Chains A and B, each alone.
Chain A
Amino acid sequence: MRIRINGDTHEVDVDVRTSLLDLLREHLGLTGSKKGCDHGQCGACTVLINGRRINSCLTLAVMHDDDEIVTIEGLGSPAALHPLQAAFVRHDGFQCGYCTPGQICSAVGMLDEVAKGWPSLVSEPGTDAVALTDEEIRERMSGNLCRCSAYPNIVDAIRDVAGAGA
């Protein structure tokens, strides 16, 4: 099959049961995406598919023929950090770093959802413009576990970037 990751096209030959996460980590050496549970319960494996965030452990690689996939490696490099990565530095948004690639990919996807006006559980019903309060950020990021609990600083980092973009 052919799969597009971070702008590159890869020809790969995988078992149909291979998850997208295992394809990235085991076959393509893109180990930035992390495995915390392999069951869609922690968010460490979050990547972006056509701009939408997804738990890559819960989707099969073969379903993404020709999809545009972006992983943490494709968002920014040490020399040119993505604004969210830079904000994580400014706000000390992590400790051990294991959940961090997932947090950052998830935040990118989440900000896009907010920009599109998608409501969350805590949004005021009926409004189409979502105000990105801390409560909204926390709720929308609650699928990404962080055992070091960098949560307060992650919220600060996301608010910082969202504010700058607004």
Chain B
Amino acid sequence: MKFGGHSVKRIEDERLLTGQGRYTDDIQLPGMAYGVTLRSPYGHARVAAIDTAAARAMPGVLAVYTAADVASYGGIPCIVPLSKVPTPRPLLVDTVRFVGDGIAFVVAETREAARAAADAIEVDFDELPAIASIDEAIADGAPPIWPEAGSNDLFLWSKGDAAAVDAAIAGAAHVTRLRIVQNRVAPTSMEVRAAVAEWDADAGFTLHAGSQGVAGMRAQLANAILKIAPEQVRVVTGDVGGGFGMKSFVYAEYALVMIAARDLGRPVKWTGDRSDAFQTDTHGRAMVTDGTLALDADGKFLALKAETWSDLGAYQSTFGPAIQTMAGGTIIGGVYRIPAIHNAVHGVITNTAPVDAYRGAGRPESAYTMERLVEAAAREVGLPVDEIRRRNLLRPDELPHANGLGLTFDVGNYPAVLDKAVQQSDWAGFAARKAEAARRGRRYGRGLCYYVEIAGGGGTEEFADIRVAADGRVEAAVGTQSNGQGHETAYSQVLADKLGIDIERISIVQGDTVRLDQGHGTGGSRSLVWGGGACLVAADELIERGKALAATDLDATDIDYEEGVFRARGTNRSTSLAELAAKHPQALDGRGRYTIPKPSPSWPNGCHVAEVELDPATGMVKVARYSIVDDFGVLMNPMLVEGQVHGGVAQGLGQVLLENIVYGEGAQLLTGSFMDYGIPRADDMPHIEFDTLGTPSPNNPLGAKGCGEAGTIGAMPSIMNAIIDALDGTQIEMPATPEKLWRVCRELAVSRAA
């Protein structure tokens, strides 16, 4: 292949580097009005009275909406509710269930006027008891936030063989038990959410908004909320400044700007500010797990049992209930040989922002639980952390392997990946590095993670709509949506190789339902697996159509295609793709649909090794060394893959060391700005040693497995395990802030002295 497998430079580059990117808030339309949401300052309250008269009378104000005004529309849908009790979430509410819940939407000539008017709305609240945490929510006598449910423990999902697990634990030589907290974090895209809507009596609505797939967003807006035919809605997504799962979902403002645009007959824009983002973007993780791992006398795993309380926030979010259950809960045992396994997940309602998919969506959480247990067990039974994994990782000759929770791992060479990672990390040199750090008075630790991820799911088909221009340029519209991953480049590589033409002659378009209204967007590291497959199908079909046309034009029966040229076999007659396109406008164009009879996920997996250095005097910790070997199957563009892995590691590192969303008394959000919520900075990131050892995925023609989330999955447990190792096995929870670490170091010093 000429392009596939190479680090082709990104096609998107120059536009984004010179300030020519087009993100949602960059859109300015003539006559545009501005919307602002009035949000709840309370965690839980009834709106007893709301007076908008003063606001309406203010200069420049065009419209004010309250819950009553939008009651005829549907709310934000939950696609995978796991409770029979609904948790409806209207566009605007008259009972607020978390700080930031929208009460009114004001539209004015300018943003400043809208903001001033929102401030002038008078609201009387009847405060209700507010629940800020899982513990409070499930405590005896806690008032249910959704009274119909009778409890804040909204549902219980479970999978596996509980009886077999209990029997195995009862007979085990060793049992490791841990309570593991995975704190709440904010996805924090640098671009805050924004939306611009236009309405036209004939064409209907156009919504510009950052999304992770326009087709899905259109369906939800049209079917569930506005209750109109999808054809009346065009959704356009331009450049997206990061999504990480959070931008998959419809937010109230997207529908509100549409409604206002129609009512006012002019375009309406809403752009959130950073505090809107911290309050109302979906959050991630937020869970507590009791994990039990049973081992035999040789350190071989006998059983894994997990019971998780997953904080859903105040509502069941779009995919919220699925994250710790169907999406991530089935992979909790990793690629280890575990004869008995059971996972139970409680969905818990609290007065906090809804929790949903965040980079990895349940997979990092599962890996974190398992890998913490594995290293705790290793420590307890006295096995090195690499050795305990070597004894329990599935060998290639044991694949395919059914994991007891409904998943079947297909291919991979996990022990080889482990060995390569161990070697790459200079495993043997660790003792010397630790001793050297000790001479400087520092603690030093090493942690490991072997993760597997379910990827390449999310829909059982994908589309590429291909057009050939008269000059032979090929344009393909794809149903996935880049949020900065560089899809345009990767797909161009796929097509350039398949069509045998130069990559410069290919362009990729995405994010407009008028151009392509099918597709399942981006999420779960699926794009190359599915979108790449669709590009191949579309290119194959294009070649077939070309051959048929060429057969007529060249008056031949057998046509061969190579490098942009169709030839009549055994003759010197030929015609090019460009000539055919010029002669038969649109006859080459068509939509490729990629699907496979039995879609199965791909299983990216890999091994991260982290080393940390900790200063007991200050509690400051630095990731000193970081080494990764991943099995992503076949790589289309190693440079893009490495970028994805870096970003993923940073988000895992951020959660382990810095990030924490805190709700305090009254379910008040205490971390609503970058002053209170730390994300990694340039000086937090270690140098990352990265390599791959791929086994091609059999489930798609490119052999790809997906790489977008893997970095996060590996980073959380490996860095935390390293910190725990540096603390001589003291179990602590994320984020491992200097204050927490300093305290533990002091206690360790005291107990050592005693």
Q: Which residues of A contact B (CB under 8 A)?
A: 25-26, 29-39, 41-42, 44, 71-73, 75-78, 81, 85, 88-90, 92, 94-101, 104, 135, 137-139, 141-155
Contact call B673/A150, Cβ cutoff below 8 A? no
Contact call B682/A138, Cβ cutoff below 8 A? yes
Contact call A101/B19, Cβ cutoff below 8 A? yes
Please measure, in the bound complex, the distance between the C-alpha atom of A42 and the C-alpha atom of B481, giving whole angstroms.
26
Contact call B18/A32, Cβ cutoff below 8 A? yes
B residues within 8 A CB of A97?
12, 16-17, 21, 239, 241, 484
Please measure, in the bound complex, the distance between the C-alpha atom of A26 and the C-alpha atom of B112, giving whole angstroms.
12
Contact call B16/A39, Cβ cutoff below 8 A? no
Contact call B190/A104, Cβ cutoff below 8 A? no
Please measure, in the bound complex, the distance between the C-alpha atom of A65 and the C-alpha atom of B399, giving whole angstroms.
70
Interface string of B331-366 (1 = CB under 8 A from A): 000000000000000000000000000000000000
Please measure, in the bound complex, the distance between the C-alpha atom of A142 and the C-alpha atom of B12, giving whole angstroms.
25
Of the stretches B125-133, B134-142, B683-691, the one at the interface is: B683-691
Contact call A95/B484, Cβ cutoff below 8 A? yes
Residue ID in chain B nearest A33 by CB atoms: B19
The smallest C-beta distance from A12 to any residue of chain B, in angstroms, reads 16
Contact call A151/B646, Cβ cutoff below 8 A? yes
B residues within 8 A CB of A44?
190
B residues within 8 A CB of A141?
682
Contact call A151/B274, Cβ cutoff below 8 A? no
A residues within 8 A CB of B273?
37-38
Interface string of B3-14 (1 = CB under 8 A from A): 000000110111
Given contacts A38-B273, A97-B484, 5 further A-B contacts (CB under 8 A): A37-B673, A39-B673, A145-B674, A149-B651, A151-B685
Q: Is B188 an interface residue (CB 8 A)?
A: yes
Contact call A89/B10, Cβ cutoff below 8 A? yes
Residue ID in chain B nearest A41 by CB atoms: B674
Among A31, A73, A98, A153, which residue has its beta carbon within 8 angstroms of that of B643? Answer: A153
Q: Is B192 an interface residue (CB 8 A)?
A: yes
Q: Once A and B bind, how many residue pairs between them come within 8 Å at the CB atom?
A: 175
Interface string of B456-481 (1 = CB under 8 A from A): 00000000000000000000000000
The smallest C-beta distance from B116 to any residue of chain A, in angstroms, reads 12
Q: Is B649 an interface residue (CB 8 A)?
A: yes
Contact call A96/B239, Cβ cutoff below 8 A? yes
What are 27 A-B interface contacts by the 8 Å CB criterion?
A31-B19, A31-B28, A32-B20, A36-B190, A37-B273, A37-B674, A39-B274, A39-B675, A41-B674, A72-B19, A73-B18, A85-B14, A92-B10, A92-B639, A95-B486, A96-B190, A96-B239, A96-B483, A97-B21, A104-B17, A137-B682, A142-B682, A145-B190, A147-B679, A148-B647, A151-B650, A151-B685
Please measure, in the bound complex, the distance between the C-alpha atom of A95 and the C-alpha atom of B274, giving whole angstroms.
20
Contact call B240/A81, Cβ cutoff below 8 A? no
Mark out the residues of chain B between 16 and 35 whose CB falls within 8 Å of any chain A CB in the assembled complex.
Answer: 16-21, 23, 25-26, 28
A residues within 8 A CB of B682?
137-139, 141-142, 144, 146, 151, 154-155
Contact call A152/B687, Cβ cutoff below 8 A? yes
Contact call A150/B647, Cβ cutoff below 8 A? yes
Please measure, in the bound complex, the distance between the C-alpha atom of A104 and the C-alpha atom of B17, giving whole angstroms.
8
Known pairs A37-B673, A137-B682; A85 contacts B647 (CB<8 A): no
Residue ID in chain B nearest A95 by CB atoms: B484
Q: Is B680 an interface residue (CB 8 A)?
A: yes
Q: Is B191 an interface residue (CB 8 A)?
A: yes
The 3 closest A-B pairs by CB, nearest first: A32-B19, A96-B484, A98-B241
Residue ID in chain A nearest B9 by CB atoms: A89
Please measure, in the bound complex, the distance between the C-alpha atom of A89 and the C-alpha atom of B7, giving whole angstroms.
12
Q: Is B681 an interface residue (CB 8 A)?
A: yes
A residues within 8 A CB of B12?
97
Contact call B14/A78, Cβ cutoff below 8 A? yes
Contact call B486/A152, Cβ cutoff below 8 A? no
Known pairs A145-B681, A149-B685, A155-B682; A98 contacts B674 (CB<8 A): no
The smallest C-beta distance from B197 to any residue of chain A, in angstroms, reads 19
Q: Is B714 an interface residue (CB 8 A)?
A: no
B residues within 8 A CB of A88?
13, 17
Contact call A98/B19, Cβ cutoff below 8 A? no
Please measure, in the bound complex, the distance between the C-alpha atom of A29 and the C-alpha atom of B19, giving whole angstroms.
11
Known pairs A36-B192, A95-B485; A149 contacts B647 (CB<8 A): yes
Please measure, in the bound complex, the distance between the C-alpha atom of A15 and the C-alpha atom of B26, giving whole angstroms.
21
Residue ID in chain A nearest B12 by CB atoms: A97
Q: Is B189 an interface residue (CB 8 A)?
A: yes
Please measure, in the bound complex, the distance between the C-alpha atom of A92 and the C-alpha atom of B674, giving whole angstroms.
26
Please measure, in the bound complex, the distance between the C-alpha atom of A42 and the C-alpha atom of B647, giving whole angstroms.
17
Contact call B274/A37, Cβ cutoff below 8 A? yes
Q: Is B267 an interface residue (CB 8 A)?
A: no
Q: Is B15 an interface residue (CB 8 A)?
A: yes
Contact call B483/A85, Cβ cutoff below 8 A? no
Contact call B683/A142, Cβ cutoff below 8 A? yes
The smallest C-beta distance from A133 to any residue of chain B, in angstroms, reads 12
Contact call B19/A152, Cβ cutoff below 8 A? no
Contact call A81/B14, Cβ cutoff below 8 A? yes
Contact call B16/A100, Cβ cutoff below 8 A? yes
The smallest C-beta distance from B276 to any residue of chain A, in angstroms, reads 11
The smallest C-beta distance from A125 to any residue of chain B, in angstroms, reads 19
The smallest C-beta distance from A10 to any residue of chain B, in angstroms, reads 16
Please measure, in the bound complex, the distance between the C-alpha atom of A29 and the C-alpha atom of B26, giving whole angstroms.
8
Mark out the residues of chain B between 652 and 685 whose CB falls within 8 Å of any chain A CB in the assembled complex.
Answer: 673-675, 679-683, 685
Known pairs A34-B241, A137-B682, A138-B682; A78 contacts B19 (CB<8 A): no
Known pairs A139-B683, A153-B643; A42 contacts B20 (CB<8 A): no
B residues within 8 A CB of A153?
643, 646
The smallest C-beta distance from A25 to any residue of chain B, in angstroms, reads 8
Interface string of B569-586 (1 = CB under 8 A from A): 000000000000000000
Among A34, A101, A145, A155, which residue has its beta carbon within 8 angstroms of that of B679? Answer: A145
The smallest C-beta distance from B157 to any residue of chain A, in angstroms, reads 31
Q: Is B299 an interface residue (CB 8 A)?
A: no
Known pairs A31-B19, A150-B643, A150-B647; A89 contacts B190 (CB<8 A): no
Contact call B681/A142, Cβ cutoff below 8 A? yes
Q: Is B242 an interface residue (CB 8 A)?
A: yes
Please measure, in the bound complex, the distance between the C-alpha atom of A75 and the C-alpha atom of B18, giving whole angstroms.
8
Known pairs A37-B673, A78-B18; A95 contacts B643 (CB<8 A): yes
Please measure, in the bound complex, the distance between the C-alpha atom of A148 and the C-alpha atom of B406, giving whole angstroms.
33
Contact call A98/B10, Cβ cutoff below 8 A? no
Contact call A78/B15, Cβ cutoff below 8 A? yes
Please measure, in the bound complex, the distance between the C-alpha atom of A143 and the C-alpha atom of B13, giving whole angstroms.
23
Contact call A98/B242, Cβ cutoff below 8 A? yes
Please measure, in the bound complex, the distance between the C-alpha atom of A36 and the C-alpha atom of B9, giving whole angstroms.
27
Contact call A99/B190, Cβ cutoff below 8 A? yes
Residue ID in chain A nearest B19 by CB atoms: A32
Please measure, in the bound complex, the distance between the C-alpha atom of A154 and the C-alpha atom of B21, giving whole angstroms.
19
Contact call B679/A100, Cβ cutoff below 8 A? no
Residue ID in chain A nearest B651 by CB atoms: A149
The smallest C-beta distance from A96 to any residue of chain B, in angstroms, reads 3
A residues within 8 A CB of B21?
32, 97-98
Residue ID in chain B nearest A136 by CB atoms: B683
B residues within 8 A CB of A85?
14, 17-18
B residues within 8 A CB of A94?
16-17, 484
Contact call A81/B680, Cβ cutoff below 8 A? no
Interface string of B251-292 (1 = CB under 8 A from A): 000000000000000000000011000000000000000000
Please measure, in the bound complex, the distance between the C-alpha atom of A41 and the C-alpha atom of B645, giving whole angstroms.
25
A residues within 8 A CB of B19?
30-33, 71-73, 101
Among A75, A90, A98, which residue has its beta carbon within 8 angstroms of that of B190? Answer: A98
Known pairs A32-B20, A39-B674; A92 contacts B239 (CB<8 A): no
The smallest C-beta distance from B701 to any residue of chain A, in angstroms, reads 26
B residues within 8 A CB of A75?
18
Residue ID in chain A nearest B110 by CB atoms: A26
Mark out the residues of chain B between 543 and 599 whose CB falls within 8 Å of any chain A CB in the assembled complex.
Answer: none
B residues within 8 A CB of A72?
17-19
